[in-house]
Homo-oligomer: A and B are copies of this chain.
Amino acid sequence: TQQLLSIPASRPRPFRVCNWDRSMRKGIMAQSLSELLHQAQTALLTPDPISLVLDEDGTAVETESFFQTLEEGTVLMALSKGQTWAASKTPGYQL
């Protein structure tokens, strides 16, 4: 029989990606971190390579295995070189 556990990891899942100042936010489907990096760079019209952090707390998402543990709908922030994450100023924001 097939190993079913591997299927969720290979199916495209929805994420939300914002830019460093949260002025833009896009819904993006991706099945891997490398795909999301590519799609986000295109969707946010960023000329330079980006890195992705969790919008929630700035945790850097640098490995495919950690990426695969993220839930559908997770909000990530795309950062270009020199840009840094800062906590959202929206008061009362919580999970």
* A29: B residues at CB distance < 8 A: 63, 65-66, 69
* A13: B residues at CB distance < 8 A: 69
Known: A65-B12, A66-B14. A59 touches B27 (CB 8 A): yes
- 8 closest residue pairs by CB, A with B: A27-B66, A14-B69, A29-B65, A26-B60, A25-B59, A16-B59, A27-B59, A27-B61
Q: CA A95 – CA B75 in complex, angstroms? A: 15
Chain B residue at minimum C-beta to C-beta distance from A60: B26
Known: A16-B57, A69-B14. A27 touches B87 (CB 8 A): no
Interface residues of A in 48-95 (CB under 8 A from B): 53-54, 57-63, 65-67, 69, 72, 75, 87, 90, 94-95
Interface residues of A in 14-34 (CB under 8 A from B): 14, 16, 24-29
